[in-house]
Amino acid sequence: MGVTAAVVGASGYGGGELLRLLLAHPEIEIGALAANTSAGLPVTDVHPNLPDLEGRVFTDAEALAAAEADVVFLALPHGQSAAVAATLPGTVRVVDLGADHRLADPQAWRRAYGGEHAGTWTYGMPELPGARARIAASRRVAAPGCYPTASTLALAPLLAAGLVEPKDLSVVAASGTSGAGRSAKVNLLGSEVMGDLTAYKVGTHQHRPEIVQALSGVAGTAVSLSFTPVLAPLPRGILATCSGRATVAGADPDAVYEALRAAYAGEPFVRVLPPGRWPHAAATLGGNAVHVQGTYDAESGRAIVVSAIDNLGKGAAGQALQCANLMLGLPETAGLTAQGIAP
Amino acid sequence: MGVTAAVVGASGYGGGELLRLLLAHPEIEIGALAANTSAGLPVTDVHPNLPDLEGRVFTDAEALAAAEADVVFLALPHGQSAAVAATLPGTVRVVDLGADHRLADPQAWRRAYGGEHAGTWTYGMPELPGARARIAASRRVAAPGCYPTASTLALAPLLAAGLVEPKDLSVVAASGTSGAGRSAKVNLLGSEVMGDLTAYKVGTHQHRPEIVQALSGVAGTAVSLSFTPVLAPLPRGILATCSGRATVAGADPDAVYEALRAAYAGEPFVRVLPPGRWPHAAATLGGNAVHVQGTYDAESGRAIVVSAIDNLGKGAAGQALQCANLMLGLPETAGLTAQGIAP
Amino acid sequence: MGVTAAVVGASGYGGGELLRLLLAHPEIEIGALAANTSAGLPVTDVHPNLPDLEGRVFTDAEALAAAEADVVFLALPHGQSAAVAATLPGTVRVVDLGADHRLADPQAWRRAYGGEHAGTWTYGMPELPGARARIAASRRVAAPGCYPTASTLALAPLLAAGLVEPKDLSVVAASGTSGAGRSAKVNLLGSEVMGDLTAYKVGTHQHRPEIVQALSGVAGTAVSLSFTPVLAPLPRGILATCSGRATVAGADPDAVYEALRAAYAGEPFVRVLPPGRWPHAAATLGGNAVHVQGTYDAESGRAIVVSAIDNLGKGAAGQALQCANLMLGLPETAGLTAQGIAP
Amino acid sequence: MGVTAAVVGASGYGGGELLRLLLAHPEIEIGALAANTSAGLPVTDVHPNLPDLEGRVFTDAEALAAAEADVVFLALPHGQSAAVAATLPGTVRVVDLGADHRLADPQAWRRAYGGEHAGTWTYGMPELPGARARIAASRRVAAPGCYPTASTLALAPLLAAGLVEPKDLSVVAASGTSGAGRSAKVNLLGSEVMGDLTAYKVGTHQHRPEIVQALSGVAGTAVSLSFTPVLAPLPRGILATCSGRATVAGADPDAVYEALRAAYAGEPFVRVLPPGRWPHAAATLGGNAVHVQGTYDAESGRAIVVSAIDNLGKGAAGQALQCANLMLGLPETAGLTAQGIAP
């Protein structure tokens, strides 16, 4: 007896990736597919890469309430999840790929996104300490953002092990363009982004409070973080260069690497690379993997961890499905892979 | 009880894609992995995108003879398959991703590749008339080249239906760089190919005789073909613009489209797009799909069909696995998908 | 005493490239810069690559009438040039980078673009027979489109020399994304175009009648042409693969190459490559060069010429400036270069 | 009466860009072009983008000694400049684009590059305090590396103004692939780099001591720096995200911006962007410009400056030519532009 999943916001990049994953999922059937601006369109008009959805048509979100689904994925622009979530029965599992329910502090949410805070859901990053059980027990889960996934998984083991100071953490993360969504903007045109690199929202990006919240939880104290996102000319992929000032313990040349290995032993989707190998975003393409590598840099006194993910995979749809698997009591890895497409 | 596959030439792009597919195959286990120049290296050093192969090490091809395998994939540079094949028992299924056994005419082979012709194996393009049964009955199959796959599947239905003349066919096909393999050449450097488009081997490409052979077989008469390959700045993907002079029957505005639909009805991996939609190479990324669309152009008197594939998928590893499935009596689609990764 | 140039539509890609060229022009000063939708904005907000225009602000086109200019460049979407041109004194030189005045046949224009035909101006491709003098004598010049430039300069010498039949010419031309302009469309997003190749407007592209007109003029008889444009993942550059059925004269192995050499001897911007070298779009980046190479393909009976240009250079702004130089009695090459930026 | 320039190492990317610049230089003629591995080859075989060099042939470096040149540019791999320089008369101006003569500390040089230190030349970054006059008075100038140019020009004004601490500076800089040169390496293939982002030489890159030396000179005390280079999928361009812990003076919200403005007022090639605008690498393509923007990030207590350059322009050939202009008493901007090619 299968499980049925509905997707709201199924015409965007995150929604489309989710559909691709669900099509290959051994236990989940695809139910209603809602996409307000594309309602009435054939799904394959928007996602020609998914021929197995031929015959399926987008509905609008209203139609969803009537539909039966065991799990509902919300892949909507921020500020739009709460209204849809309110129409769903409490018994239905809901995973929000958007930002609406990630932050616990309403003021932080308002500063980052504007508008009214819709409430806080369980934060869906299973690899954080204690998170797996919390997610499994939840009916409402907020899947993390793409930058927060890459950044948090890089720095959390170092904070947990006391290897870096909680203040003055630094993340410079380059991302492919799909992270900006499928909106027609001049600055996202191929003509503009190919051959370009640019920093944006320096010191003001809405993902910073989310990273700070997650890392503060791990550190047991408020962390501070400089965060600079960079737009890079590739469709998918994030490479995050993360660092913190090493404590005395962190100044041991092997400590950083060992902390990463210890933290992620047994994790199905986090791969600590062999010594001397640094992550390639391309190695994670299309999968749910996180690749990390770290070192202590004696000259600057900083511990440095570099991480790579597919921003639409572990950074969005893959992690959302990983959470759904946990919530539904399915194997955590069902329908997911740690393999990437290369070259 | 599973089937075991060995791969020779497992360190190249075609071999690496095959490993990725085999890892997800429900019935096949990965046996020996040979790669002469990388023998002794961990597989994940060469393919960091395949963490599930951690612990595996490349052997050399000699070690293969001793290994037990139900099917052996040869993913070697041309001219190297025959020697390896000679060491394998006749009972083992062998699929050659290289060019050694594709051509029936030894002279044509020598002109295209130089050296001695190694003999002709069953041509592994299941969608051609009668091919599926021939492949299933074979122990030795030559998987087609990437350009021939895109070109042949575009034009074959038109020739079979008598819609185009067999003489003066034309193919201009743009390909991503992985088609040129993982060899360190200056003209394939990222610095050279990004931002560039270039035609190469104009009128002399070794894939032309293969296309001519396949299409002549379908047409029942010798075809002639102009073939111009273009190197384009993407890692994977082929878009082939194929045309032929329309016969009287082909000048019917709907005939081309209907011929494509009829030829590929029920085919699991060939998708004739809805009218008005033209193929995108990106929609086939990572999958085994072929997307085609065609029309009759009254002004020039030509029937035009455009096709898109992933050159490492349906153009190499995917099609090889599709053939192996047939040879092994497994479901033809096992371990394969028609879905692509997008964006 | 310098010459002053005004640009209308200065915020687009063609307009921006023109500004870059004009900034380096030894004889021309930049006058009014009009851009209706960007009127009031600093020019460097739209073109941060042009810091020497700091302090300049876009005006609207109305302001132009009052401005004094010796030459006016119109870089507007099709259908908008005529209205602006009507406000300019007859004595002013005007070069239209848009399509409004390229076609002599009003019906052909209406079929291609819709709306009313605005009249026919001198066609601004100096390398065509007799064109240089006609341009120099004109006050109104229609600069050719990008695909027509690449296609016409490839095939014209063969038609003029009687080496190919006028019927059944074929052009498959891949272009970078800037050819589609700076309009915010989902299908032009970086996420969509990187990693993709797609054919579009197959048999219906508005540049076909322009190519047919130019080549028919050279051939002295009506030509017919199959034309398939392909969108490729690079910001700039066109590579056109052009062919025609060889006549008896064209079947001489050396005839094609010799015809190209003879036609373009002494031309400052057309480079016939050494034998065996095929054009690279990247080699023309940022310049006004056309690179061509050709051969006779005995197997298909076709003569094949491949050409490369920068679609914003020789395909738009460069050629427009080349025409303006001729119209103004300046050296034809002033402010232009045949060198490209590489890699 | 013109000046003659010779180039040694003229077949690489830096050398090729220098040739392009020299072709457009109003005062300099191109003399001998040496390229050992390409000696005897036509220059346009290697640089098809430079048709004006048709007829020129690469010589070997030995031939250079006999040639007359007023200025010699050495664009050689590190370790090879000293031997060539030793053959040149002391009266000839020499600009070394390589690393051999950049570092004052022989031990630092040996740690970074291995082999014997060849001596220290005047450091060729004209925008540093006092550097312009030193360069003009020198016969031997070491042109800076690409990462050092982007990093030093970003942080120097903050250090000079006392706005950041000299310890714990941080640079994460993404670079296009041409920075790695024209060597045939698998990891630089287009198939590998397109769609990828990767950090490399983390904490061990040979450009760190050069940045440290330059910034220590400005700060008047030894600085310490974390430096992480990232390889990004574009041919040219560097975007450097640079930061330092703000001092009390640096915590003034406007101080960073004002320091940049003050430092670079009147500089022809450094553009401090308008408030709110962040640098785009693409806006510097093909030019000698540096774009910078900076801010104070109160939350992390760091001052952040982002800079963009063309790594082959201001990061190599452009800056070398800027130095040569100074050494030769020519206008500093001769043959150079601050305009970039876009899109």
Question: In the structure encoding, which two tokens stand for residue A100, read together?
Answer: 């609406």
Chain C contact for A185 (CB, 8 A cutoff): yes
Residue with tokens 């048509």: A57
Q: What is the pLDDT of residue A68?
A: 84
Chain A contact for D55 (CB, 8 A cutoff): no
Chain A contact for C190 (CB, 8 A cutoff): yes
- By Cβ distance, the residue of B274, B289, B343 closest to A235 is B343
Which DSSP symbol is given to B60? -
Chain D environment of C339 (Cβ under 8 Å): 20, 23-24, 49-52
Chain C contact for A268 (CB, 8 A cutoff): no
Q: Could you list the residue range(s) of the whole structural domain that residue D123 is in?
A: 3-143+316-328
Residues C61 and C81 grouped into a single domain: yes
Residues B191 and B49 grouped into a single domain: no
Average of per-residue pLDDT across C156-182: 98
Chain C environment of A183 (Cβ under 8 Å): 186
Structural domain contains residue B261: yes
pLDDT grade, residue B68 (50/70/90)? confident
Q: Rounded to the nearest 10 degrees, how much is the dihedral formed by the CA atoms of B304, B309, B311, B316?
A: -110
- By Cβ distance, the residue of D235, D271, D283 closest to C343 is D235
Average of per-residue pLDDT across B158-167: 98
Question: In the structure encoding, which two tokens stand for residue C254, read together?
Answer: 């050396």
Distance from CA of B58 to the nearest CA of C (A): 30
Taking CB atoms and an 8 Å limit, are D186 and B184 in contact across chains? yes
Q: Check if the beta carbon of residue D96 is closer than 8 Å to that of residue D74.
A: yes
Chain D contact for C41 (CB, 8 A cutoff): no
Residues B31 and B155 grouped into a single domain: no
- By Cβ distance, the residue of D190, D195, D234 closest to B189 is D190
Structural domain contains residue A104: yes
In 3-state terms, what secondary structure has residue A36?
Answer: helix
In 3-state terms, what secondary structure has residue D230?
Answer: strand
CA-nearest of C85, C70, C66, C79 to C8 is: C85
- List the chains bordering chain A where 3 or more Cβ pairs fall under 8 Å: B, C, D
Q: Check if the beta carbon of residue C253 is closer than 8 Å to that of residue C296.
A: yes
Chain A environment of B265 (Cβ under 8 Å): none
pLDDT tens for the 343 residues of chain A, in order: 589 999 999 999 999 999 999 999 999 999 999 998 899 999 999 999 999 999 999 998 776 766 689 999 999 999 999 999 999 999 999 999 999 999 999 999 999 999 899 999 999 999 999 999 999 999 999 999 999 999 999 999 999 999 999 999 999 999 999 999 999 999 999 999 999 999 999 999 999 999 999 999 999 999 999 999 999 999 999 999 999 999 999 999 899 999 999 999 999 999 999 999 999 999 999 999 999 999 999 999 999 999 999 999 999 999 999 999 999 999 999 999 999 999 9
Report d(CA C252, CA C264) in Å as an integer.
Answer: 20
Taking CB atoms and an 8 Å limit, are C233 and A190 in contact across chains? yes
Residues D191 and D294 grouped into a single domain: yes
Q: Check if the beta carbon of residue C128 is closer than 8 Å to that of residue C115.
A: no
Taking CB atoms and an 8 Å limit, are B193 and D190 in contact across chains? yes
Q: What is the pLDDT of residue A66?
A: 60
Taking CB atoms and an 8 Å limit, are B20 and A178 in contact across chains? no
Chain C contact for A192 (CB, 8 A cutoff): yes
Structural domain contains residue C335: no
- List the chains bordering chain B where 3 or more Cβ pairs fall under 8 Å: A, C, D
Chain C environment of D49 (Cβ under 8 Å): 280, 282-285, 287, 339-342
Report d(CA B39, CA B295) in Å as an integer.
Answer: 50
Q: What is the pLDDT of residue C66?
A: 60
Of C28, C75, C94, C146, which residue is the catalytic one?
Answer: C146
Report d(CA B1, CA A129) in Å as an integer.
Answer: 39
Chain C contact for D287 (CB, 8 A cutoff): yes
Chain B environment of A284 (Cβ under 8 Å): 49
Look at chain B and report how many structural domains it folds into: 2
Q: If you measure CA to CA, which chain B residue comes closest to C298?
A: B203
Report phi then psi at A211, rounded to 5: -65, -45
Is C242 assigned a catalytic role?
A: no
Chain B contact for D197 (CB, 8 A cutoff): no
- Positive or negative, the CA dihedral D308, D311, D316, D322 is negative
Which DSSP symbol is given to A171? E
Statement: residue B230 has pLDDT above 60: yes
Structural domain contains residue C32: yes
Taking CB atoms and an 8 Å limit, are D49 and C342 in contact across chains? yes
Residues D74 and D190 grouped into a single domain: no
Chain A contact for D188 (CB, 8 A cutoff): no
pTM of the model as a whole? 0.98
Query: Which CATH number is B53's domain given?
Result: 3.40.50.720
Question: In the structure encoding, which two tokens stand for residue A216, read together?
Answer: 């503060």
Q: Annotate C41-54 with DSSP letters as a single string.
A: SBHHHH-TT-GGGT
- By Cβ distance, the residue of C13, C183, C233 closest to A194 is C233
Taking CB atoms and an 8 Å limit, are C297 and B202 in contact across chains? yes
For the stretch C115-143, pLDDT in tens is 899 999 999 999 999 999 999 999 999 99
Taking CB atoms and an 8 Å limit, are A49 and B282 in contact across chains? yes
Residues C111 and C191 grouped into a single domain: no
Chain C contact for A343 (CB, 8 A cutoff): no
Statement: residue B1 has pLDDT above 60: no
Residues 6+ positions from D56 with CB-CB distance below 8 Å:
D30, D33, D42, D43, D44
- By Cβ distance, the residue of C182, C185, C235 closest to A194 is C235
Chain D environment of B189 (Cβ under 8 Å): 177, 182, 184, 188-190
Taking CB atoms and an 8 Å limit, are D185 and B190 in contact across chains? no
Structural domain contains residue A203: yes
Taking CB atoms and an 8 Å limit, are B226 and C243 in contact across chains? yes
Q: Check if the beta carbon of residue A17 is closer than 8 Å to that of residue A335.
A: no
> In angstroms, how far is CA D126 from the centroid of its own chain?
11
In 3-state terms, what secondary structure has residue B32?
Answer: strand
Q: If you measure CA to CA, which chain B residue comes closest to C209?
A: B299
Chain D environment of A260 (Cβ under 8 Å): none
pLDDT tens for the 343 residues of chain D, in order: 589 999 999 999 999 999 999 999 999 999 999 998 899 999 999 999 999 999 999 998 776 766 689 999 999 999 999 999 999 999 999 999 999 999 999 999 999 999 899 999 999 999 999 999 999 999 999 999 999 999 999 999 999 999 999 999 999 999 999 999 999 999 999 999 999 999 999 999 999 999 999 999 999 999 999 999 999 999 999 999 999 999 999 999 899 999 999 999 999 999 999 999 999 999 999 999 999 999 999 999 999 999 999 999 999 999 999 999 999 999 999 999 999 999 9
Q: Check if the beta carbon of residue C76 is closer than 8 Å to that of residue C60.
A: no
CA-nearest of B3, B2, B60, B19 to B320 is: B19
Neighbours of B181 (CB within 10 A): 14
Neighbours of D212 (CB within 10 A): 24
Average of per-residue pLDDT across C19-32: 97
Q: What is the pLDDT of residue D104?
A: 97
In terms of phi and psi (left: phi > 0; alpha: psi -120 to 50; beta: otherwise), the region of A188 is alpha
Report d(CA C319, CA C212) in Å as an integer.
Answer: 19
Taking CB atoms and an 8 Å limit, are D239 and A199 in contact across chains? yes
Which DSSP symbol is given to C314? I
Structural domain contains residue C343: no
Distance from CA of A175 to the nearest CA of D (A): 9
Chain B contact for D282 (CB, 8 A cutoff): no
For the stretch C179-211, pLDDT in tens is 999 999 999 999 999 999 999 999 999 999 999
Chain D contact for C22 (CB, 8 A cutoff): no
- By Cβ distance, the residue of C226, C236, C308 closest to B297 is C226
Residues C37 and C186 grouped into a single domain: no
Distance from CA of B38 to the nearest CA of C (A): 29
Q: What is the pLDDT of residue D65?
A: 63
- By Cβ distance, the residue of C49, C283, C285 closest to D339 is C49
Chain D environment of B176 (Cβ under 8 Å): 191
| Strand ranges of the sheet holding A140-142, from the earlier edge strand across to the other edge | A28-34, A3-8, A71-74, A93-96, A140-142, A122-123
The ipTM assigned to this model is 0.97
Residues B194 and B79 grouped into a single domain: no
Hey, which residues does C304 pair with through a beta bridge? C243, C295
Report d(CA A316, CA A331) in Å as an integer.
Answer: 19
Residues C322 and C224 grouped into a single domain: no
Q: Check if the beta carbon of residue C280 is closer than 8 Å to that of residue C291.
A: yes
Query: Which CATH number is B179's domain given?
Result: 3.30.360.10
Taking CB atoms and an 8 Å limit, are A339 and B16 in contact across chains? no
Residues A168 and A302 grouped into a single domain: yes
Taking CB atoms and an 8 Å limit, are B306 and C202 in contact across chains? yes
Taking CB atoms and an 8 Å limit, are B295 and C202 in contact across chains? yes
Q: What is the pLDDT of residue D1?
A: 54
Taking CB atoms and an 8 Å limit, are D49 and C271 in contact across chains? no
CA-nearest of C93, C86, C139, C89 to C116 is: C86
Structural domain contains residue A340: no
Residues C134 and C68 grouped into a single domain: yes
Neighbours of C19 (CB within 10 A): 27
Structural domain contains residue A335: no
- Positive or negative, the CA dihedral B311, B313, B314, B320 is positive
Chain C contact for D178 (CB, 8 A cutoff): yes
Angle subtended at Cα A147 by Cα A145 and Cα A150, rounded to the nearest 5 degrees: 105
Of B43, B146, B163, B283, which residue is the catalytic one?
Answer: B146
Residues A156 and A291 grouped into a single domain: yes
Which of 203-262 (C) contact B at CB < 8 A?
203, 208, 224-228, 230, 232-239, 241, 243, 245
